[in-house]
Chain A
Amino acid sequence: MSAARIPILKVGRVLIVPIQVDMDDQTVIHLQERILSELERTGARGVLIDISLLEMVDSFIGRMLSDIAAMARIMDARTVVVGMQPAVAITLVELGLELKGVETVLNVDEGFRLLRSEFDHEDNEEEQAYWGLSAIGKQDNRS
């Protein structure tokens, strides 16, 4: 089983990370490293992690989300997790995971609004130039 490659997209000053596959531990660790290096490389101010297709968040993935938020904060970026399925949310609470330091919202629109409120005026121009997502790295979803 080869590790799935999760795309990291940049829209304006926000990195968008759509997690669309079940991730094994190696993929989780690799993704965390890639998000941080993309933050450094692009100077993005927000990270939006879409987990709407994730059918399960266990303690390992939960800790990854907390760690990304903490590390991103040190790099002056805010992290929002969007789209958690209700069954996943209930299970997380029962498991006793708090997702410390992670902001969660219901959908990508809300997530964007929240992140944009941080640096809205700074980059309208840049963003307009960006409609057309610019993909960073290879978006190779073959597994």
Chain B
Amino acid sequence: MESKTIALEHNHDIAIARNEVRAIAAALGFRVLDQTRLATVASELARNIVKYGRGGRLIAQPTEDPNGRQALRLIFEDKGPGIPNIEEAMRDGFSTGRGLGKGLPGSKRLVDEFKIESIIGQGTRVTVLRWKA
């Protein structure tokens, strides 16, 4: 299955992103619980981008390891202000605005791999991956 890019500019893009991610996860054969986890992560991180990252995009990228084990990778990119202190942002309860506090550490618990890169003044990229059970 090919990668899909979803624009994250407006409020309603958040709902579009989570529904697209669920549909892709379902098409890949993820079980309902993992579809729900991935859709929830998409919703949390897409909201961060729309509300605090001044817009960006989500790339949903089906992938597999050399043994043919399938996974779904989600890449969230924005051109926002960047996160000055990632360690702090990853701590439960930290918040720079309503909503971001639960967003990052909570999202991390819903996936198998979680990577966050940020450059001040240039933007932030969060990459998550969940293996098919």
B residues 7-37 with Cβ under 8 Å of A? 11-12, 14-16, 18-19, 22, 32-33, 35-37
SS class of chain B's interface: helix, strand, loop or mixed?
Answer: helix
A129 at the B interface (CB under 8 A) = no
Q: Which residues of A contact B117 (CB under 8 A)?
A: none
Q: Nearest chain A CB to B39's CB is how many angstroms away?
A: 5
CA distance A60 to B18 in the complex (A): 13
State how many residues of chain B have any CB contact under 8 Å with chain A.
28
| Contact status of A24 and B109, CB under 8 A, knowing A56-B39, A60-B47, A91-B33 | no
B44 A87 Cβ-Cβ under 8 A: no
B22 contact from A55, A88, A94, Cβ within 8 A:
A55
B44 A59 Cβ-Cβ under 8 A: yes
| Contact status of A56 and B43, CB under 8 A, knowing A91-B36, A94-B106 | yes
CA distance A95 to B38 in the complex (A): 12
A22 at the B interface (CB under 8 A) = yes
Q: Which residues of B contact A123 (CB under 8 A)?
A: none
Q: Which residue of B has the minimal Cβ distance to A23?
A: B15
CA distance A119 to B92 in the complex (A): 40
CA distance A25 to B103 in the complex (A): 15
A74 at the B interface (CB under 8 A) = no
A22 B19 Cβ-Cβ under 8 A: yes
Q: Nearest chain B CB to A86's CB is how many angstroms away?
A: 8
A87 B15 Cβ-Cβ under 8 A: no
A133 at the B interface (CB under 8 A) = no
Q: Which residues of B contact A91 (CB under 8 A)?
A: 33, 36-37, 40, 110
Q: Which residues of B contact A56 (CB under 8 A)?
A: 18, 22, 36, 39-40, 43
Name A's B-contacting residues (CB within 8 A): 1, 22-26, 55-60, 63, 85-88, 90-91, 94-97
Give 7 A-B contacts (CB < 8 Å), ordered by A residue: A23-B15, A56-B39, A58-B18, A59-B102, A90-B33, A95-B40, A95-B106
